[in-house]
A and B are shown apart, each in its own frame.
Chain A
């Protein structure tokens, strides 16, 4: 069974701080990794995609991938109350069409 694991939280950080969200996956051959943000009652919206080992930055967001450790993370710099949401890690395992989602980490940014 191919799995994606996340700490469900909530992760509480003060406004302006760095939020660090983590995800591990079981399928070693996975090639595509994604972070989505989901507000309550809404559909997931893509924040970042990452395909290669290392860091990828986009504005206040940095995704980090370590395939050897089967670990992907998302850093949010200068966290804002509007960043309060559930962050979903998604992986496309090798040899499949499906994308597997973790349970999500609920982030609360305190003003």
Chain B
């Protein structure tokens, strides 16, 4: 079965550093997402991306965050200057059509020290 792949599985960084989280969505999917989950809390929407642009973003997704689809397969989340409170599991997800089930990657655990 096709799957969403994320790298790295774990990322440790110092506060103030830039990080890039990488994702390869399922190949025929058209809508791409980033979610995050702080330990013990709910899965929170960050951003959706369709047709090479952001279609929707949450209040969490401020100027420190950006997304990019640099080629036909990768989808990245960049955090420009990490804060302690950015420590969380970050999930990439994709769907083929609007309203269909989300397919999640296995996540990147980001630890900001």
A and B assemble together:
yes
Query: Are B104 and A98 in touch, CB under 8 angstroms?
Result: no
Nearest residue (CB) in A for B47 is A98
Which residues of A sit under 8 angstroms from B42, Cβ to Cβ? 88, 101-104
Question: CB distance B104 to A32 under 8 Å?
Answer: no
Segment at the interface with B among A12-20, A38-46, A55-63, A74-82: A38-46
Inter-chain contact count A-B, CB under 8 Å? 56
Asked if B43 is at the interface (CB within 8 A of a chain A CB), the reply is: yes
Interface range on chain B: under 10, 10 to 19, 20 to 34, or 35 or more? 20 to 34
A34 within 8 A of B: yes
Please name all residues of chain A whose beta carbon is closer than 8 Å to the beta carbon of B43 when the two chains form the complex: 38, 44, 88, 90, 101
Residue in A closest to B103 when the chains form the complex, CB atoms:
A46
Which A residues touch B45, using CB under 8 A? Answer: 98-101
B25 in contact (CB, < 8 A): no
- Binary contact readout B31-56 vs A (1 if CB under 8 angstroms, 0 otherwise): 10101000001111100101000011
By size class, the interface of chain A is 20 to 34
Are A97 and B106 in touch, CB under 8 angstroms? no
Given contacts A49-B101, A98-B48, is CB(A43)–CB(B91) below 8 Å?
yes
Provide the bound-state CA to CA distance between A90 and B44, in Å: 11
| Contacting pair A97 B50 (CB below 8 A) | yes
Q: Which residues of A contact B (CB under 8 A)?
A: 31-32, 34, 38, 41-46, 49, 51, 88, 90, 92, 96-104
- In the complex, 26 of the A-B residue pairs with CB atoms within 8 angstroms, ordered by the A residue number, are A32-B100, A34-B101, A34-B102, A41-B89, A42-B107, A43-B104, A43-B106, A44-B43, A44-B102, A45-B104, A46-B101, A51-B99, A88-B43, A92-B99, A96-B56, A97-B55, A97-B56, A97-B98, A98-B45, A98-B48, A98-B56, A99-B45, A101-B44, A102-B42, A103-B42, A104-B42
List residues of chain B with CB under 8 Å of any chain A CB. 31, 33, 35, 41-45, 48, 50, 55-56, 58, 89, 91, 98-107
